[in-house]
Amino acid sequence: MDQLPVEISQRIRHEARVAGMHDHAPSIEMVERRRLQLWSIMIIVMVAVGLAAIAVSGATDNVKWVTGQPLLLAGGVGALAVGFCVYAVEKEVHLHRLSRLLVDERILSNTMALQIQMNTALFNAGKALNSVMDLDDVLDAILANALDLLEGSGGSVMLLEDQAMLRVVAVRGRGIARDARVRLGESIVGRVAQSREPLLVPQVVSPADIGGVLDSETDIGGAMCVPLVNRGQLLGVLTLLAPKDDAFDEDDLSVLNLFAEPVAAATAKAGLYEAERANVAKLLESDRMKSQFVASVSHELRTPITSIRGAVAASRRTDDPGQREELLDVVDRQSGRLQTMVEEMLTAARMQENSNRSATQQLDLCALVRLTALDSHVAGRPVEIEIPAECSVRAEPEALRRVLTNLIENAHKYGSDPIRVAVQRADDQVVMSVIDRGPGVPPEERERIFERFYRTDPNGTKPGMGLGLAIVRGLVESCGGKVWVEDAPGGGAAFRVSLRASVGSDARSEAVHV
């Protein structure tokens, strides 16, 4: 390929010299002018030869010639005419060759210019791929380069989601809906994604053929779609639209196929980058929460340990039996607090290691609520209950008792009185609610409060290690249920636990206040 332009240029210069053109850069227009000059001279010479022949013929009648002179004169005129004709034909042959070479050179130049333009566009696409990691920016840059090169009126990049749906993530041009979705197998785009074969649509395309991606009033010509495949995996579809009354050809489709490669690579690379960035963010957040957890645990453990050591030291210095008994009560309470915190940490660790469901059984949720409320009342945390006479669910008793205890403690810690526990039947589910009159939980934190180590009180003014609600969610899910928080009627937070109801549970409601 590198030698071909040089060879053509040398042949053009040679043919130009032979044809009598000494210009260093002959053109097709110059060849046509040279041809016109040559045949104009040819006509003039032929006319002159014809007139000379007539003159010679007339002169033979009036002039006495030496024997053979008329024949020699006629032969000379004829030889002159034949010689000039041969000259003209030879020049015409070289001009024809020169014209054909110039056409070949122009075609080759146009092809090379298009190739350079395409390489430039691909280079810019690759530059965008390597310089920007944001997927939207990369796809937009590549789509813009493809439209500039192929002179399209618009286009889109659709990526696969949920293994059955394509979504528009990058658009150029008017009338194309961003975030529009098309199912695999439906419309032109869906069929290309399903077959993984490029498709050229030379005729006018209607918006309905694209599958709801285009506005119904958008005027376009033809279209072409190519699948985006990376290492055998379908990632999406690249679509280009031609202007009205225009169409693409097979060469355009081949060029678009070249753009599909960097688009697929960009999608895969950006996807990996996004996943890695999300993973790094998750690790950083986990590290931050663990650091906060260690600080919280250190603070929470220090308080009861300090109290225990102080009570033990004081008991050694006193001989008063009554005071010593009070100090032993302090040791007992604080050691119980330590035991509770250790149990929470062990429970959280077990749930992280083993996500299997607990062995559930049928139990009376209302009886469990009554007993837990009574224990809470004895411990100085009064609870109102509004429950049916009986309501059976499928759950693990100890896990459910722990769930209710943690929710009641959380309501007393972050909410305000009155704290109310309600049980209601909803179809085949039983919903247990723990409701308080506190400030509630902001919507943006309603998912995060169930994460391990997360606390809505980052300053640590409230006791706790950020494990209570995480344990609640783990225990509820191990029983096959779900837990969430929402605004309580009249203000406050309502923590709801939904469990599978057992057949035959009674939904008669009674209000009981403890």
Task: Give the pLDDT confidence score for residue 97 in this predicted structure.
Answer: 78
Which long-range contacts does 251-257 make (Cβ < 8 Å, 24+ apart)? 252/150, 252/200, 252/224, 253/198, 253/200, 253/224, 253/226, 255/118, 255/149, 255/150, 256/146, 256/150, 256/198, 256/224, 256/226, 257/198, 257/226
- Which CATH superfamily groups domain 148-271? GAF domain (3.30.450.40)
> Rounded distance, CA 294 to CA 298, Å?
6
Pairing of strands 384-388, 420-426: parallel
> Rounded distance, CA 367 to CA 373, Å?
10
Task: Give the pLDDT confidence score for residue 511 in this predicted structure.
Answer: 39
What's the Cα-to-Cα distance from 199 to each of 97, 162, 219, 237, rounded to whole Å? 41, 23, 20, 11
Task: Give the pLDDT confidence score for residue 353 in this predicted structure.
Answer: 58
Task: Give the pLDDT confidence score for residue 422 in this predicted structure.
Answer: 93
- Residue 238 in contact with residue 225, Cβ under 8 Å? yes
Give the chain's residues under pLDDT 50.
1-4, 64-65, 505-514
Task: Give the pLDDT confidence score for residue 459 in this predicted structure.
Answer: 57
- Which CATH superfamily groups domain 361-513? Histidine kinase-like ATPase, C-terminal domain (3.30.565.10)
Task: Give the pLDDT confidence score for residue 420 in this predicted structure.
Answer: 92
Closest among 209, 257, 24, 5 to 113, alpha carbons compared: 5
> Domain map of the chain by residue range?
3-126, 148-271, 361-513
Closest among 401, 437, 432, 434 to 418, alpha carbons compared: 437
Report pLDDT digits (tens) over 260-307.
877 787 777 777 777 787 888 888 877 776 776 676 667 667 777 888
First to last CA, the chain: 95
> Rounded distance, CA 268 to CA 295, Å?
40
Task: Give the pLDDT confidence score for residue 421 in this predicted structure.
Answer: 93
Task: Give the pLDDT confidence score for residue 483 in this predicted structure.
Answer: 92
Report pLDDT digits (tens) over 330-372.
888 778 777 777 777 777 666 665 555 567 788 899 999 999 8
Predicted structure pTM score: 0.44
Please give the structure tokens belonging to residue 86.
């041969």
